[in-house]
Structures are given as C-alpha cells and as structure tokens.
Amino acid sequence: MSRRDEIRQGLQQVNDRIERAAGDAGRDPAELTLVVITKYFPASDVALLAELGVGHVGENKDQEAATKVAELDPAVRDALTVHFVGQLQTNKARSVARYADVVHSVDRPRLARALDKAVANAVQAGERAGDLNLLLQIDLEQKERAGRGGVLPEDLPALVESVTAAERLRLRGVMAVAPPALDADGTRAAFDRLMECSRQVREEVPDAGWVSAGMSGDLELAVAAGATHLRVGSAILGSRPTSR
Ligand SMILES: *Cc1c(COP(=O)(O)O)cnc(C)c1O
C-alpha cells in the first residue's frame, strides 16, 4: 500500500470513530476539530494529510516543528493551522511564535509573558500576521506531579489573569493529557475535572470554549466529556519509532 493510501485509511478510521462518538454523545461532529499530531513523521506526510483534506496538524518539539513547517510548500503551509502541543521552555517562545497558530501547552505566567513578547516581536519583524491563540494546559494528575506539564487547578485563576492581561495572546480554552494508566472510569473522571476547569475559564472569558482532549486511545471518552479539539497521532499515521 502506498503511504498515501495508508494515511487515507487511518484518517477514515479515525473520522468514523469521531462520528460514532459524537452520535453516541448526541453531539454534532461539526463541533469537533481533528488535529493530526505529526511528531516523528516527515513533512511529506504533512503534505499528504493536507491533500487528503486535513486542516489542522500538531507538533510537540520546537526544533522538529520549526524544521518541518519550513519544509512545507508555502501553499500547503497556508492551508494548515499549525498547533504546538508539547511542553515549552520559555527560551523557545521566540521560535514557536514564528510558525505556530495555536499553542495548547501554556501552564505558567512566565511562559505566557514570554510568548506575548515573542509574538509582538514576530509581528513587528513581519514573521507572523497576528495574535497567538492559546490554551491553558491543566494538570489532571491527582497525586504527585508526574512532570508532564500543566497548571494545577488551584493555580488556574492566576494563570488566566496573566493571559488576559497580555496584548498579543487570545485565550481560547483549556487542554489536557489524561494521566496514563487509568481505566475508563479514571479517564472519565479526569476529563470531568478538565471540563470543570473549562467552566472556570469561561466565567472570566466567555468565548474561551475550546477543550483540547482525547488522543488515539481515549478520543471517545473525550468526545463524551465535551472536548472540541482531538489530538490524534498514531491511530492515523502509525506507531512512532520510539515513544516518549
Ligand atoms: C503525541 C501526542 C498526542 C497524540 O498521541 P497519539 O496517542 O499518538 O494519538 C496528543 N497530544 C500530545 C500532547 C502529544 O504529545
């Protein structure tokens, strides 16, 4: 099978799962945005995804993302919304501001301030057109922090305040990765905590209604909980060379 057919098949399977999950949850599939996570896969796969009608792709490492986006044909790049979903160091803000349309992983005021400044500089330098959309990553672990990133729910109000004070950042909602090794009930409970954080954010910013949750293994549970953005990699592109 050609790579194009492989990807077409994976995409078809995932879109079928999303439609079924939306139907089961009584939701309109049109409310759901599929973000295909292309980490570890080459720019040629991103181009195939765009050809097959995908409008949103995501990456989780700055250096890999910067290189890959630069390799895309400009028409392909312009047709895509590029999401950054990985943990982000403050010193990478300037780079991410050059190519990202949405950042899902803002979890501390210092990072928000660095991104705000980086976006202003990138706009001034003609490297990007406008404001950066962002989501606040919530830590859904209940025990010790596993270091996967995210703001603890109790620290969320201060983070919302720092983002709404920024000039170049547009707060769109929240994001989370379900803690690993949970059964379905544990994952449901974690996504419910995320939805509670989403409600808190919407009290301050009513149109910040995006909820980014759900990956290859748990997208049905995320749709049932109320996710709007699904981040799916391996179910579409195949297993990655190594997992992280
Ligand atoms: C890799 C990744 C995904 C996609 O994971 P799959 O299990 O391959 O679907 C989603 N979100 C984040 C933050 C990721 O790093």
Q: For residue 124, how far is its CA from the centre of ligand 1 (angstroms)? A: 33
- Tokens read off for 134: 């962002």
Residue type, 167: E
Q: For residue 82, how far is its CA from the centre of ligand 1 (angstroms)? A: 15
Instruction: Enumerate long-range contacts of 79-82, CB under 8 Å, 24 or more apart.
Output: 79/50, 79/55, 80/46, 80/50, 80/54, 80/55, 80/56, 81/55, 81/56, 81/57, 82/57, 82/58
The protein residue whose alpha carbon is closest to atom 13 in ligand 1 is 85
The protein residue whose alpha carbon is closest to atom 12 in ligand 1 is 85
Q: For residue 125, how far is its CA from the centre of ligand 1 (angstroms)? A: 32
Encode the chain (244 residues) as per-residue pLDDT tens digits. 999 999 999 999 999 999 999 999 999 999 999 999 999 999 999 999 999 999 999 999 999 999 999 999 999 999 999 999 999 999 999 999 999 999 999 999 999 999 999 999 999 999 999 999 999 999 998 766 556 689 999 999 999 999 999 999 999 999 999 998 789 999 999 999 999 999 999 999 999 999 999 999 999 999 999 999 999 999 999 988 764 4
Give the DSSP letter string of 84-107.
E-S---GGGHHHHHHH-SEEEEE-
Q: Point out the ligand 1 atom lying closest to the alpha carbon of residue 235.
A: 9
Residues flanking ligand 1, CB < 6 Å? 37, 39, 60, 85-86, 177, 215-217, 231-235
Q: Point out the ligand 1 atom lying closest to the alpha carbon of residue 60.
A: 15
pLDDT recorded at residue 49 = 98
115, with CB counted inside 10 A (0-12, 13-18, 19+), is: buried
Full-model pTM: 0.96
Judge contact between 186 and 149, C-beta under 8 A. no
Euclidean distance between CA atoms 241 and 53, whole angstroms:
25
pLDDT recorded at residue 94 = 97
pLDDT recorded at residue 148 = 67
DSSP bridge pairs for 132 = 169
Q: For residue 126, how far is its CA from the centre of ligand 1 (angstroms)? A: 31
pLDDT recorded at residue 72 = 98
Q: Which residues of 230-242 are buried (b: 16+ CB within 10 A; e: fewer)?
A: bbbbbbbbeeeee
Euclidean distance between CA atoms 226 and 23, whole angstroms:
13
- Residue to substitute in 37, 57, 139, 229 for testing ligand 1 pocket (most ligand atoms within 8 angstroms of CB): 37
Give CA angle at 200 (189, 163), nearest 5°: 120
Q: Point out the ligand 1 atom lying closest to the alpha carbon of residue 240.
A: 8
DSSP H helices, the chain, are 3-25, 43-51, 62-71, 74-79, 93-99, 109-124, 156-164, 184-204, 219-225, 234-237
Q: Which residues of 206-216 are buried (b: 16+ CB within 10 A; e: fewer)?
A: eebebbbbbbb
pLDDT recorded at residue 161 = 96
pLDDT recorded at residue 244 = 46
Q: Which of 145, 138, 184, 178 is CA-nearest to residue 160? A: 138
